[in-house]
Structure 1
């Protein structure tokens, strides 16, 4: 049973909070961005055991359904008070690079371990409305999936050498 399931089963404690976090990364950026929901910055360990500082921001996360429909998208909004999000999105668009995202959940009384397994996704699209950035990310990128999945190369099909 995960820490999050234990918290839900106990009815929730008034002194314990669930803290959703986002890690955004892109090859066009100098470093990854770590954001947490709330008013206070936190320092927490990732699943790899690395200690990272998550900057507090106004984020809202809508989790997807857990099924095999192919439309498993996570929608999130980040308040863009300083305009940094717009600059980073422009850098990613100019470099034509994909933005990766990791969604992690922590419990406030134990920041050394994740409350549940992280979601690893690719940002699929987004919009900007005023000072808020709305992005959609998915863990199964059906649109960019190659067909056929197996590439016919000389390693896979050596007989192609004679055609």
Structure 2
């Protein structure tokens, strides 16, 4: 999918909705979350399918600047505490973890609408 579709979505309202997703790999577990109440099944950039669970999350994309930093800020609901506990444990134990942000368009879940951030 081209960035022109995303540009059009930002410029005007249409039928499509932008769907933000987070894949959090920590402590040998993978957590697949999307903003909202509905689960979505999408095709990843690798061609594999994944189901993201509807969750109370929020994502702030990194600023486009020339200082070289790419800080992705995110918030996760702590209702059941599963993901946040896994993240805290990984930080306490200095374990490896990764987070991948993907953005999809609601009428085309066959691939991310823009390259993923990891």
Same fold (TM over 0.5): yes
4+ runs deviating over 6 angstroms = none
CA distance in structure 2 between the aligned counterparts of 1:78 and 1:52, rounded to whole angstroms: 19
> Alpha-carbon deviation of 1:62?
1.2
Higher RCO structure (Cα 8 Å, ≥6 apart): 2
Gaps of 5+ in 2: none
The answer to whether the 8 Å contact 2:34/2:57 transfers is: yes
CA distance in structure 2 between the aligned counterparts of 1:73 and 1:110, rounded to whole angstroms: 27
**1:8-157 to 2 correspondences below 5 Å:** 8-9=10-11, 11-13=12-14, 15-26=15-26, 28-29=27-28, 31-93=29-91, 95-120=93-118
Structure whose CA Rg is larger: 1
Gaps of 5+ in 1: 121-163
> Alpha-carbon deviation of 1:32?
1.3
Aligned-residue CA RMSD in angstroms?
Answer: 1.8
- TM-score where L is the length of structure 1: 0.64
Instruction: Tell me the number of residue pairs that the alignment of Structure 1 and Structure 2 aligns.
Output: 116
Show CA shifts across 1:16-73 (max 9, x none): 11110001113x22x3111001110000011001100000111111111122313321
